[in-house]
Structure 1
């Protein structure tokens, strides 16, 4: 029995992918479980680096905010070059410092601090999203490999049956229809196996990409899709949503920062005087040189520019942040309730499927194999039982992966993506 010929282009593509992903797997690399893989992604991925630098920029923008204005030191020389006072000179040294008595500096420092904390909250949320993506990618790799393993086992069983049928056909104990039927089934599984191989390569490529450019070969990934994943209570998730979600906390902090900036700008009507003091030196280096002092006070009159524009922009930023916070909170609560129902429903469905379908399909295959060996069942009975068991196992993998996706989505929506780390793994 021969498989359908593979086109040169397809062979080249598959060969290139294999070389890219497995070319250096000969180098000994420690196997990674889900926790270790997620930690590697958070530490080395480019997305994580971008999020860190964005948070660093947010912290840097708060440096120096609310600091007292710098003093100034001035020197001025005046000298006559004609007239009755020719040759006389005057040197004036002056120091000045503005006096910010309105209290706006403390409010500006508060606004900057809140904005820096908002940047940290956004960084936390970005890491949560990256953890969520890494967890789902890890599960996708395991699921793709599991599907490929199921198809390989089924194909091996069909090929064994095909050899037995060929032997019986040569002995005149089986018709050509039986051989063609088993070959058709094997070809169908072989085609599905090719698709599963491509899916596995794609999932592994995504897993490798998340590890960053410093990793050229995907380390071995180990684990099981059949794992217990603890989830917090639904009521607790809803109650702690605003506190746990980094994006919600960032918007709340931005609104608080904008309010502090608005209050600081609202004090623009309070004059900020400047105090000046210095010394005056007359005819330095000449007979009769003298000295004196200079003092003064400058008082700006904020009749026209009272920082109205800054106050209006800060108020608009505050209202925008509040509106975004309200919209995001409403969306998060709605989606979280839906996610809770999805996780509960998928868990129940998977449990029932394993007992009502998967176990019966495996039992049916064993009974069909026994009956066929005893001569009381036809080939089609055995083929149908093999197909039913194969499809049941593939569906179980699909349902398990779907449940993992729902669980990770739920924990991300709740702001607790670290809860996706499995507590234990059981078959």
Structure 2
């Protein structure tokens, strides 16, 4: 097809712009992953949460089915085989449920649906807490790797200082051997920190359903801990915790099952309506019947006793859930406060002091004021202080995740 020269310019410009935009655009994986995005990915993709959602959908269908009436029965009966002497009966049998069986059946299905929805909410809340734990475990593993890298660089500077003093004949070559051993230890620690970071990234990627090999985490240093409510306020929230709510719904389901077994003790009747033709008399007559079971041998007593025992057990489980929620929440809040206080103390007091001691000892060694053993001790003390700081931060974040697992977020997302 012929395109006029004036119109050929428009597609070329559009193509050039599209190529320019495509070339200048950054891939989606280059965007750092922050905690809200990680939680959203996990909620959207995690198979356990999808399974719980399907179970809730199945429960809704079961509620709809439980309200259905029993189907009627069409019956055909012929007595005799010779023509002119046969009797033929056509009838419809309709079971009639008595004692509130249908309402009880719907209540049981509704209780199961409420329980399935609670399980879904619990899994969502637990998944959110797992993502928080894994996210900050990865961030702190990243900080530990940087710490190990910095320690390796420090050991390299120490080795250079020792080598200079050995060359000047001021210290024994044994000191250089010690410095090389310290550098090897730092290299091993760096490899261990890198492996821990890879494991943490894999764990977070398994929760979010996304590969994190080429994607950085947003957050950088994790020095800022979230605000947590005081213990009395948290204990008030414990009464409405999802685990307690699920235990209440479990009790409601058991009570509904007991009511259904109680309703099953009332016998149902079957109403029969039909027509009978007698060939010998050559006429047709209506048939009406009513069948009533006689509860002589089975009055459903065993099933009712079992359902009532399960109801009592569910009531005890509710008390246990309330007690566990209060106890675990108090323990998590205390762990958070202790870990947060330790992390702040290490950050503001211990780590700066240890860094200053290491710098002074290294400089003093260069001037012959300290032995290399003093330098190694100062280096080890600095590394341990920084490691304790990040471990305290991790403990605080894990306690925060435990609080959200038990009581839910202070502001639901």
Distance 1:227 1:29 in 2: 24
Deviation at 1:118, TM superposition (A): 1.1
Alpha-carbon offset, residue 218 of structure 1:
6.9
Q: In the TM superposition, what are the counterparts of 1:56-71 in structure 2 within 5 Å? A: 56-71=57-72
TM-score (norm 2): 0.82
State how 1:7-406 maps to structure 2 within 5 Å: 28-81=29-82, 86-172=83-169, 175-212=172-209, 215=211, 219-223=215-219, 224-245=221-242, 247-283=243-279, 290-368=283-361, 379-406=372-399
Which range moved further: 375-384 or 43-52?
Answer: 375-384
1:318, distance to aligned residue in structure 2 (A): 0.6
Q: Tell me what 1:8 maps to.
A: none
- What is the alpha-carbon distance in structure 1 between the residues aligned to residue 79 and residue 358 of structure 2? 109
Q: Label 1:280 to 1:64 Cα distance change in 2 as closer, same or farther (>3 A).
A: same
Task: Return the offset for 1:366.
Answer: 4.4
- Per-residue Cα deviation, 1:341-395 (whole angstroms, up to 9, x for no partner): 2222222222222222122223334444565677766655554443332222111
Give, in angstroms, the shift of residue 192 of structure 1: 1.8
The 1:217/1:193 distance shift into structure 2, 3 A limit, reads: closer
Alpha-carbon distance between aligned partners in 1 of 2:373 and 2:340, rounded to the nearest angstrom? 34
CA distance in structure 2 between the aligned counterparts of 1:268 and 1:58, rounded to whole angstroms: 22
On the 8 A contact 2:29/2:214 being kept in 1, the answer is no
Distance 1:370 1:361, change over 3 A: same
Q: In the superposition, relative to structure 1, how do residues 29 and 356 fare at CA in structure 2: closer, same or farther (>3 Å)?
A: closer
RMSD (CA atoms): 3.1
Structure 2 SS opposite 1:185: helix
Say whether the 8 Å CA contact 1:59–1:119 is kept in structure 2: no
How many corresponding residue pairs?
A: 386
**In the TM superposition, what is the alpha-carbon distance from 1:236 to its structure 2 partner?**
2.8
Give the 3 Å change call, closer, same or farther, for CA 216–184 of structure 1 in structure 2: closer
- Rounded Cα–Cα distance in structure 1 between residues aligned with 2:371 and 2:266: 98
Give CA-to-partner distance per residue, 1:179-234, whole Å, 9 cap, x none. Answer: 2332232122122222222222222232233345x759574323242233132342
Equivalent residue number for residue 23 of structure 2: none
How much does 1:152 deviate? 0.6
Q: C-alpha separation between the residues in 2 aligned to 1:386 and 1:153?
A: 11
SS in 2 for 1:393: helix
Determine if contact 2:238/2:329 at 8 Å carries over to the other structure: no
Deviation at 1:149, TM superposition (A): 0.7
Q: Which runs of 5+ in 1 are unaligned?
A: 1-25, 422-427
TM superposition shift of 1:175: 4.2
- Which structure shows the higher helix fraction? 2
C-alpha deviation, 1:117, in angstroms: 0.5
Partner of 2:266: helix, strand, or coil? coil
Scaled by the length of structure 1, the TM-score of the pair is 0.79
> What is the Cα deviation at residue 338 of structure 1?
2.0
Structure 1 residue 91: Cα displacement: 3.3
Cα 1:211/1:312, change in 2 over 3 Å: same
Matched position secondary structure for 2:239: helix
